[in-house]
Structure 1
């Protein structure tokens, strides 16, 4: 399939822009760990077998690391993904595994050190920068966002900065009517970018789904506003602040926060979307290159493991702001009380996602998706066991919650 070329001239102020890829995925999906029905699509032929390496386990509270379950999990969606990579680290066991192919044309193996797009995992980096700014007394988490960004949001109801980070803002989300969300449209427009102010303006034209602080619902509009807030407070793009405050101090040499570069440099798997053809077949379109923008960080499993470890150990935040990472709003706890038995209980703090699995193990981290890429990072609070994974879904929605659920459960159950 022939894809639209990248624009020859980059628009002014691109640093404040968001790719249609991330925005459209946000409009289509909210990442959960429930069971999701995904249509089966033809997968590339001659997919390589699962490969893995492992070391012995150690932990008094976690179940032993189940390597067979992990191997089964990462190879469980051959018709919905082209590749998968997973890494388990920590005193309670080490394991790495790959499945599929990095390139459906060459059948190259999946690189263990491969780069991938982070999608909404970028939100953890954005939240960390906001919390650092709070520690520097440059922003008050309990102060209305409208006072910092006048004219960006409706003047009422007042929305606290903290509510942007913990998904209780009540801000409406983009819908499929706002951006192209069909596979063909996604492929053709993956190099488009939009000012964040424009995306927020489109979102707030919709009716607020609830009053601030009365519910917790996953979404992206609050983080578009948070990224705008970083720029307003610092005079730099959120990508520049993430690079200066997090990537360089932690020596995350394989993690980048591109503002205009559409490529992934270094070893990586390709991302694809299955596009329906007139004869009813599906054709895989390579969407590896796409506009970066918000959700556009690129990293590796090793770098994300290093970032998550530093974050949990308090290397990036003082104690007061560190507490925000692991504080779930009371309204979210109330919503969790109705979770059916045997289902994962999911809630959000200021930046992180908390999952309590049916076996009682609680992990913290984040999932993310953009065109052709889905990933996640999770760890027990004590860092005894940590999981980072990336896979390449071919569906337009992208997040494949069933595969995420199976992978996380295999690592911690």
Structure 2
């Protein structure tokens, strides 16, 4: 699998945004950013590529001994994309090894090093938090995963739609359509100009459902997208009477003492140490200029965390601290259906590879990992672990192409962590 890489010219400069634009605004734009990242990059495929279909008899080595950690290989992986990222941060944890590393700069204007404890925007990694909240509501008998979403959100989806079970929202088999480049700004100039705009969930869903559904029968195919999670977040809000950010905070962040993690509703800034996010804006002379887009409208894609906090969240999730056994099993229940447009070179080899908010990928050495990738403008991140938690990795980097999951860089990080 290849990815068309975007790079900026040498000698770039930075520019800020006038203070009057740095205003507090209602949430949701970053959730739209997560979608637009997919649109702008031109693919909805997550950043984990399988090299070739492994033999059916190949063992899942996630419970066995992993290769010894190679700090040099990890550092080489972090520094392998200097032409398209400004900073990289990674943390490896677990009984089979610990390592932290950085590359690049947190601020291209000052040359400040990337902070090891830096905070970053999560983008679609927030989907795992939303899925967890929905599954908690299912455990409380407040939502039935087998019932259609229309039961909980009447008048949100078109009357012509078939019943769409709530479970299909979480495992990407809902058949709901996605936003297109015509729905929201996607060019670098437009992204900079509109990154503070508000796009409520209801508006995003209304725009998405104007398009044709990708397949007819809910549950019959899988394809990655964001609309299902827009709707899932709306279900949370309708059932609880609180914003989904509030539910994430009270149900997950506070109980796990994730003090460096936030689900902001209006704050456009990133508090505490962090690397800046940038986007390369084309110039009339044919070059590009890096524009600082660290400040942007929050929302689901605007959740903020650190590598340490995400590692704690992932560990708690896999150990059952957040969900009873029945609901926890939904995380790992990958539907036995085709992946729309899938090939032998993707993580599912043409078949589904997502459970509820988590994806499954098997590396060349047979080690199977579970986790999630995310991206919003200026930030890309991910968290992956073996099922037994023996080795875990959380990473974040700052792409200059507006976002998107850099397949080459992510695969190098995962290979250096689990397969070196």
**Residue in 1 that maps onto 2:53:** none
Residue 8 of structure 1 deviates from its aligned partner by 7.7
Asked if residue 400 in structure 1 is aligned to residue 412 in structure 2, the reply is no
**Residue in 2 that maps onto 1:203:** 208
Residue 32 of structure 1 deviates from its aligned partner by 3.2
For residues 347 and 267 of structure 2, the distance between their equivalents in structure 1, rounded to whole angstroms, comes to: 44
Alignment of structure 1 residues 232-271 onto 2, 5 Å: 232-271=238-277
Q: Are 2:27 and 2:297, in contact at CA under 8 Å, matched by a contact in 1?
A: no
Q: Are 2:170 and 2:228, in contact at CA under 8 Å, matched by a contact in 1?
A: yes
Alignment of structure 1 residues 44-63 onto 2, 5 Å: 60-63=64-67
TM-score (norm 1): 0.89
Alignment of structure 1 residues 298-313 onto 2, 5 Å: 298-313=304-319
Look up the SS of the partner of 2:371 in the other structure. strand
Which 4+ residue blocks in structure 1 deviate beyond 6 angstroms? 333-336, 341-346
- Taking a change above 3 Å as real, the CA distance of residues 289 and 128 of structure 1, as seen in their structure-2 partners, is same
Identify the match of residue 166 of structure 1 among 159, 171, 176. 171
**Residue in 1 that maps onto 2:37:** 25
Q: Which moved more, 1:185-194 or 1:151-160?
A: 151-160
- Taking a change above 3 Å as real, the CA distance of residues 229 and 16 of structure 1, as seen in their structure-2 partners, is farther
Alignment of structure 1 residues 14-413 onto 2, 5 Å: 14=26, 18=30, 20-28=32-40, 29-30=43-44, 31-34=46-49, 60-155=64-159, 156-211=161-216, 212-332=218-338, 339-340=344-345, 347-413=353-419
For residues 19 and 180 of structure 2, the distance between their equivalents in structure 1, rounded to whole angstroms, comes to: 26
TM-score (norm 2): 0.87
Q: Which runs of 5+ in 2 are unaligned?
A: 1-14, 51-62
For residues 241 and 373 of structure 2, the distance between their equivalents in structure 1, rounded to whole angstroms, comes to: 29
Look up the SS of the partner of 2:302 in the other structure. coil
Q: Are 1:21 and 1:370, in contact at CA under 8 Å, matched by a contact in 2?
A: yes
Alignment: residue pair count:
387
For residues 105 and 298 of structure 2, the distance between their equivalents in structure 1, rounded to whole angstroms, comes to: 23
Q: Are 2:380 and 2:403, in contact at CA under 8 Å, matched by a contact in 1?
A: no
For residues 105 and 326 of structure 1, the distance between their equivalents in structure 2, rounded to whole angstroms, comes to: 43
Look up the SS of the partner of 1:295 in the other structure. helix
CA RMSD of aligned residues (A): 2.2
For residues 267 and 309 of structure 2, the distance between their equivalents in structure 1, rounded to whole angstroms, comes to: 20
Look up the SS of the partner of 2:290 in the other structure. strand
